Every structure is written in C-alpha cells, then in structure tokens.
Structure 1
Amino acid sequence: MNIFWENIWKFPKFIISVFIGFFLTAAYPFFQLSKNRKIFYFIFSIIILIAGLLVIVLKEMLGYT
C-alpha cells in the first residue's frame, strides 16, 4: 500500500512537468522568431492585445464593472 501512495504523491510533479514541457515545446518557434527585434515586438504586442481582450471579455461575462 505504501508503493501506491508514493506513486500518488509523484503524480502532481509528473503533471506539472508535462505541462511545462508542452508549453516550452509550443513556444520554441516564438523564441526563435524573437531573435529579430521587429518580429519580437509584434509578437509581444499581439500577446498583450489577446490578454487584454480576454480580461475585458471575462469582466463582461462575469458582470464585473
């Protein structure tokens, strides 16, 4: 039974490492594009724009003013 609980306690670490690996793998092309400053500023501004729009949409959906 101890082996079962040891495996259960290892599972959150595994999930976190899988998510970090996924996001790093998905973001790798953007890291390569960020070597060019013009493209970096464009991508950064797009990310900020998307995040801002997401905040506005969520505020409207949830009724916060």
Structure 2
Amino acid sequence: MNIFWDNILKFPRFFISVLMGFFLTTFNPFFELLRHKKNRFIYILSISFFIIAFSRILKLMLALN
C-alpha cells in the first residue's frame, strides 16, 4: 500500500512536467521564427491581426458591447 501512495504523490510532478513539455514544444517554433529580423515584423503583424479578429468575432457572437 505504501507504493501506491508514493505513486499518487508523484502524479502532480508528472502532470506539471507534461504541461511544461507541451508548451515548450508548441511555442518553440514561434520563438525560432522571431530570431530572424526580416520576418519578425510580418510575424508580429499577423499574430496581432489574428488576435484582434478573434476578439471581434467573439464579441459579436456573445453580443458583448
């Protein structure tokens, strides 16, 4: 029974490491794109346009004023 509780206590650390690994592998290519100076402006402009469009769509869908 002692081994069971040891495994249960290890789960939060495993969960945090899995989440950190997910975010690192997901966002690493975006940070690699920001290293090139000539692509940086286009990349930031397209991300900001996407965020603005997404927020406007959500405001219209949810009827927020």
Report if TM-score (shorter chain) is over 0.5: yes
- Name the residue aligned to 1:3: 5
Paired residue total: 63
Q: Which has the higher contact order (CA 8 A, sep 6+)?
A: 2
Q: Deviations over 1:10-60 (max 9, x none)?
A: 43871x442332222122222222111121121111111111111101101
- Structure 2 distance, partners of 1:44, 1:52, is 12
| Contiguous gaps of at least 5 residues in structure 1 | none
RMSD over aligned Cα atoms: 2.7
Whether 1:44 and 2:44 are equivalent positions in the alignment is: yes
- Structure 2 distance, partners of 1:44, 1:38, is 11
Aligned residue for 1:35, secondary structure, equals coil
* Percent of residue pairs identical: 32
Whether 1:24 and 2:21 are equivalent positions in the alignment is: no
Whether 1:35 and 2:14 are equivalent positions in the alignment is: no
Larger Rg: 2
